[in-house]
Structure 1
Amino acid sequence: MFGAVSITKAVRRSGIDPALILIVMLAGAVRLPIAVLTVYHHPDEIWQYIEPAYGLVTGDWIRTWDIRLGIRSWLIPLMMLPPVWLGHAIDPAGEVHLLLPRLAMGLASLGTVWAAWVLGARIGRQHAIVAAFVAATWVDFAYFAVRPSSDSLAALCIIPGLALLVRFCDAGNRRDALLGGFLLGLGFIARFPLGPALAIPFLWAGRRDFRRAWVPLLLGAAGGVLADVIANALMGQWPLLWIYHNVFANVVANRSHAYGVETADWYVRVLAWQWQFAFVMILPALAFGARRYPVLLATAIAVIAVHSAIGHKEYRFILLAVLLIVLLAAIGSVDLVQWLVRNAQIAIPQRRFALLSMLWLALSVQIGAVQPFAINWNIGRAPLMAMRTVAAVPGLCGVATYRIRDVPFMSRAMLNRDVPVLLLDGQRSALRAEPRYNAVIAPIEHLGELPPAYRFAGCMSPRAPLFEQQYCVAVRKGTCSGPAGVFGYNRQLIAKDL
């Protein structure tokens, strides 16, 4: 009891609103089980960021075409390196090195809750509480918070950066401009197609005052870019050359088109499908919120517009816009309730803002529980279970994938075993390489094509229909002889340009 009183007094002396501390703790409590229970939202989280970091720790990793063409920055893998190294040191044969990066991202995401509080507090305490509560509990904020990806990292940098720029415009503190510029620069490096949209708040904050605004803004942004330059220099790469390679591969060579091309209105249709009847609340609340922060709405619209012009589209690409729209709607919902009380003569209970927060929470839970969002909770679980199954095979001496549609599928970071890994695509290769592996992962329809020594060990999606069982494991008794050779996973990826 006395400890709680002491903590309360310390909080009051610090000038921090106790409500903010409680909401930040709530945000952490929401993010923890998501970090523990989910694997990944998109394979890039593993193969482009965790896998290279794991390779720096162990010396062995799977290199996809993205890595070989140099279209990715080394900044994010190097940021993931400390939690991956620590996890591998704690549990060399386990999966802690996969979990700690998600926990680290979740911890960093608490900055978005602070940013929501800052943006709301400029208007009033109720705005701050509702905005921070929504940032803590809204399904997009919470789910993507723990994703070690460029999209999440960009949003986690940019939203606090925007709050700092707003605060700079209010008080003129150059440190806010410097740090805000740095976070926007880092967000740009994490996902450079956001550049045109980020120019909007940057120009808005700079306006016409060069000495007071532009100098710290430019220095801060340069610091964010410098972090990327240093990271790639440490890995022997030329500064920012990866951006040129990325644009050439995806815009000129159209490699991204292999993963699907959508029409320009795709993002609007997906948002309408995801939010469904929540639009009834989000749109009018957004109108009120946009009156408070038109620059944030303009930034969100620019994000969607730029990515709508790109053929290959994924929901995660506009994550920043989604979070800004929800945040503006949260702030605007307080104004909307106040307007209804004043002008519409609607009887709203005294605890109206607590009820408003609960309404936001209910909408978040509903959206997260139904399609299309609900599919996200199980992504990556079957591949991880397959890796766990083969890793537990007694006397494991080699692992092969056979006619797996998702390539790359094998991940050293997920397998975490120092054994040869092979990529096989036909009966002849499976028979020829048989002495080099004693565990194989294959779709159920192709298990009968394996050499007769292999026995079925199980499929990883027990609730899925038979034709959807893509990750089944077969094992043979005995040892292995010889290295992976020409069937080595990386050699096959190079041969197939995958």
Structure 2
Amino acid sequence: MTRTSADPSPGNTGEVGPATGRFHPLAELLLLALAIRLPLAVWPNIIHPDEIFQYLEPAWRLLGHDGIVTWDWRYGIRGWFLPTLLVGPVAVGDLVVPGGAGAFVVPRLVAALASLSIVASAWFLGARISRAHAIVAAFVAAIWFEFILFAPHTLSEPLATALIVPAALLLTGGPSQRRLVIGGALLALAFVCRFQYAPAIAVLAIGACWRNWRNLIPLVAGGLVVLLLAAIVDVAHGVVPFRWLIANIEQNLLHDRAAEFGLQPAVTYLVSFWMVWSVAVVPLLWAIWRGARHAPLLLAVALVNLVFHSLIGHKEYRFVFLSIVLLIIVAALGSADWIQSLRAKRAWRRWALPLVAGGWALVSVALAGASEEMHDDWMRGVGAARLAAELRADSKLCGLALYDVPFHLLPGQERLAGSSPLYALQPGDPLAKGRLPATVQATKSAFNRILARPTSAADLPAEFSRRSCAAVGNGDACVFVRNGTCDAVAAVAPFVINDVLVRLDY
């Protein structure tokens, strides 16, 4: 961060005066951010199945419960560090609100709280320039729709970003030995959470130390402590330290597992920015250009991360969340310069800050649901959560079968079936031999609830009647019910969901 001759100093007309309220402005902005984020922790949308099946479900299994095991865990490409960190919140949530809901909500509350580090860091990054820059940067971090959308989700991208942004604060602006150690630890922790951010982390570390390479010593020392702790966690779970990292690279680079989920061209993320930000991309680019002089290293980290992920065939918008956050913070710093320009005019002096902050708020609200992609992100998984809550509260449920409904569209085994058996009847299963209607007839006595598409109603046994439906994925799914209890039969044993996933290699 740099201060130019045009930057305001204390006492300038560009400086915002001391707070007259009871709380410090940063505290007020943190409360604003918290007030927006906490309700969304309870809102049951799911941006991506990974937040359930790669993090919450493994944490649930660590507590001794049954859970769905995906191919990622069977092949050992996921590290145990993040699920281990989530064990505490999952356990507390299940203790406070048993039945799966608490184990889902409390970790999201923790993730939302962790996201406040971005708001606080934005304040202090701006404060190096002026109080106006601090207020604008923190306000934008508090209310920008993408920050809010990702805040409560237990995904590696927002959690790693919540570590990298404060690390950037510590490593810029004349870092001390203590800041270097803490910053190195935060970067290493972010690497363990999301190793794909390694190039961005490297750029930040090198950029912070290139004028004094001796600074790398405390930075690396702090990082090694965290990496050692991550290795101990791996050993505690009976795996070779960081073997998951090698396995991940093997599966995705050598065996093209990621390619199975789709390949996109290098310009995909630029197209995504246009789709999500629409015409607002024009003033945002202008603000980023203005803000680059205040935070050139942050801009470099954002661009390197964007370019690196653009070179990877499989792309998802969440992968570049770090770039989104850094670009918006840089834009916020640039937009705060306009306050100085406006305050130079007597008629606008009083309205400069409200005008810039209000502009950010209006754009954020307008873009939050403007694109189809954003609308889907806010609503994805809500219908599945409603059906899961209905099933979990069903005292007569003794066995549940998923009939041609992908498990990854649903919120996990505990929230669906509790302690009742969960079966999967899928068309690609070789044991079904392409005859799902015959399979469900042969196994129907083992379950009294079926979750299926309404178009599959004719395939189901006559004893099952449709009770309720909701949007799940690209169509509806319905709960089909029969009266009576469940009898274990040999025919259904191979269709326990984890056995089916092994056969499907999913």
Query: Equivalent residue for 1:419?
Result: 420
CA contact (8 A) 1:285 1:336 kept: no
Q: Distance in 1 between matches of 2:23 and 2:282?
A: 32
Seen in structure 2, the aligned counterparts of structure 1 residues 43 and 317 have a Cα distance that, compared at 3 Å, is: same
Query: Equivalent residue for 1:430?
Result: 440
Seen in structure 2, the aligned counterparts of structure 1 residues 406 and 95 have a Cα distance that, compared at 3 Å, is: closer
1:301 pairs with 291, 300, 303, which one?
303
Q: Distance in 1 between matches of 2:168 and 2:411?
A: 39
CA contact (8 A) 1:304 1:321 kept: yes
Seen in structure 2, the aligned counterparts of structure 1 residues 413 and 156 have a Cα distance that, compared at 3 Å, is: farther
TM superposition shift of 1:485: 1.3
CA contact (8 A) 1:286 1:332 kept: yes
1:86 pairs with 88, 92, 95, which one?
92
TM-score, scaled relative to structure 2: 0.90
TM superposition shift of 1:260: 1.2
1:276 pairs with 278, 290, 294, which one?
278
Q: Distance in 1 between matches of 2:170 and 2:114?
A: 16
TM superposition shift of 1:340: 6.0
SS in 2 for 1:458: strand
CA contact (8 A) 2:90 2:104 kept: yes
CA contact (8 A) 1:158 1:187 kept: yes
Q: Distance in 1 between matches of 2:500 and 2:410?
A: 12
Query: Equivalent residue for 1:76?
Result: 82
**Equivalent residue runs for 1:136-285 within 5 Å:** 136-167=142-173, 170=174, 172-211=175-214, 213-285=215-287
TM superposition shift of 1:95: 0.7
Deviations 1:216-274 (A, max 9, x none): 10011222322321222221111111111111111111111121111000000100111
Query: Equivalent residue for 1:497?
Result: 505
Structure 1 position 66 matched with structure 2 position 35: no
TM superposition shift of 1:369: 2.0
CA contact (8 A) 1:459 1:469 kept: no
1:275 maps to amino acid: W
Greater shift, 41-50 or 84-93, is seen at 84-93
2:239 maps to amino acid: Q
Note the residue ranges of structure 2 that are not aligned, 5 or more in a row: 1-17, 427-435
CA contact (8 A) 2:405 2:452 kept: yes
Query: Equivalent residue for 1:454?
Result: 464
The percentage of counterpart residues that share the same residue type is 35
SS in 1 for 2:468: strand
SS in 2 for 1:473: strand
SS in 1 for 2:479: strand
TM superposition shift of 1:411: 1.7
CA contact (8 A) 2:465 2:481 kept: yes
Query: Equivalent residue for 2:10?
Result: none
TM superposition shift of 1:94: 4.9
1:317 pairs with 303, 319, 322, which one?
319
Note the residue ranges of structure 1 that are not aligned, 5 or more in a row: 1-11
1:366 maps to amino acid: A
Structure ranking higher in helix proportion: 1
Greater shift, 323-332 or 243-252, is seen at 243-252
Query: Equivalent residue for 2:430?
Result: none
CA contact (8 A) 2:453 2:478 kept: yes
Kindly tell me the number of residue pairs found equivalent between the two proteins: 474
SS in 2 for 1:433: helix
Seen in structure 2, the aligned counterparts of structure 1 residues 37 and 304 have a Cα distance that, compared at 3 Å, is: same
Q: Distance in 1 between matches of 2:383 and 2:260?
A: 24
Q: Distance in 2 between matches of 1:17 and 1:405?
A: 49
Q: Distance in 2 between matches of 1:250 and 1:308?
A: 15
CA contact (8 A) 1:206 1:217 kept: no
SS in 2 for 1:73: coil
Q: Output the aligned Cα RMSD.
A: 2.0
**Equivalent residue runs for 1:364-443 within 5 Å:** 364-371=364-371, 372-405=373-406, 407=408, 409=410, 411-415=412-416, 417-425=418-426, 426-443=436-453
CA contact (8 A) 1:83 1:101 kept: yes
Deviations 1:404-442 (A, max 9, x none): 145574722322610111001311221111111110101
Q: Distance in 2 between matches of 1:367 and 1:27?
A: 18
Q: Distance in 2 between matches of 1:94 and 1:351?
A: 49
Greater shift, 313-322 or 39-48, is seen at 39-48
Query: Equivalent residue for 1:9?
Result: none
Greater shift, 407-416 or 283-292, is seen at 407-416
1:228 maps to amino acid: A
**Equivalent residue runs for 1:337-356 within 5 Å:** 337-339=339-341, 348-356=348-356
SS in 2 for 1:459: strand
1:160 maps to amino acid: P
Deviations 1:299-353 (A, max 9, x none): 00011100000110000000000000000000110113434666xx796352211
Seen in structure 2, the aligned counterparts of structure 1 residues 28 and 407 have a Cα distance that, compared at 3 Å, is: closer
1:291 maps to amino acid: R
Greater shift, 229-238 or 108-117, is seen at 229-238
CA contact (8 A) 1:98 1:413 kept: no
Deviations 1:169-205 (A, max 9, x none): x2x4211111111111111111111111211110111
Q: Distance in 1 between matches of 2:414 and 2:310?
A: 34
Structure 1 position 53 matched with structure 2 position 59: yes
**Equivalent residue runs for 1:4-15 within 5 Å:** none
CA contact (8 A) 1:38 1:377 kept: no
SS in 2 for 1:83: helix
Q: Distance in 2 between matches of 1:58 and 1:88?
A: 13
TM-score, scaled relative to structure 1: 0.91
1:338 maps to amino acid: Q
Query: Equivalent residue for 1:330?
Result: 332
